[in-house]
Structure 1
Amino acid sequence: MTPGEVADFLATLPGCTQTGTRAIPAWYVAGRVVARLVAADELMIRCDFAERERLVRDDPETFGIPPEYEAHMKVQAMLAGDADRIRSALRGAWELQRKR
C-alpha cells in the first residue's frame, strides 16, 4: 500500500477525518486516533492488545510491535506488507475508536 491508498481507504469510513501534516498525516474518529503515518513505509494502527497479538502472530511480515508500542494499544504496519490485512486492521481500529 502507499500512504495515498491508506488515505483513500480511511476516507471511505464514516466519521474518519485526516489531520496532521502532509508529511505525517493522521486519521481520527471523534478525536481518537485510528492510524498515523510514521514513515513513508510504516503506519501506526490503533488496536487492542489481543488483536495486536493476533495480527503479529498471523502476519509477522506486515505487523510488528516496536519496543515503544509495547505498553500501548498500537501495532506497526509495514506498507509493503499485505494490503488486505492492513485494510482489515484499519477498519478494526476505526470500529474500536468509534465505539468509545
Structure 2
Amino acid sequence: MTPDEVGRYAESLPQVTRKGTALRPAWYVHDRLVVRLQDQNTLVIRVPLSKRESLLETYPDSFGVPPRLEAHHKVEAYLDRAPPGAVRTAIDLAWEMQHR
C-alpha cells in the first residue's frame, strides 16, 4: 500500500478523521489514534496487546515492535513488505479498539 491508500482506507472507516501534519498524517476516531504515518515506508498502528502477537506471527516480515513501542498498544507496519490485506487487518483492529 502507498501512504495515500492507507489514508483512503482509514478515512473509509466510520468516524475516522485525519489530523497530524502533511509529512506525518494521522487518523483518529474519537480523538484516539488509529494509524499514523511515521515516514514514507512506516506506519504506527495502535492494536490491542492481546492481538499483537498473532499479527506478528501471521505477518512476521510486515510488522515489528521496536523497543520504544514494546510497552504500548502499537506495531510498526512496513509498507514496502506488508501485503495490503495485512495493513487493512491491523487498521481494522485499531479502529475496533478505539471505536467505543
| TM-score past 0.5 threshold | yes
CA drift of 1:42 comes to 0.3
Amino acid at match of 1:73: H
User: Aligned residue for 1:9?
Assistant: 9
Amino acid at match of 1:88: T
CA drift of 1:88 comes to 1.1
Give 5+ residue unaligned stretches, structure 2. Answer: none
After superposing on structure 2, the runs of 4+ consecutive aligned residues of structure 1 that deviate more than 6 Å are none
Would the aligned equivalents of 2:25 and 2:37 in 1 still touch at CA under 8 Å?
A: yes
What TM-score comes out, normalization by structure 1 length? 0.96
Amino acid at match of 1:15: Q
What TM-score comes out, normalization by structure 2 length? 0.96
CA drift of 1:18 comes to 0.4
Q: Deviations over 1:21-73 (max 9, x none)?
A: 01000000001000111110000000111211111111111011111000000
User: Aligned residue for 1:59?
Assistant: 59
Amino acid at match of 2:27: W
Give 5+ residue unaligned stretches, structure 1. Answer: none
Q: Secondary structure at the match of 2:14?
A: coil
Amino acid at match of 2:64: G
Identity rate, percent:
43
Q: Secondary structure at the match of 1:44?
A: strand
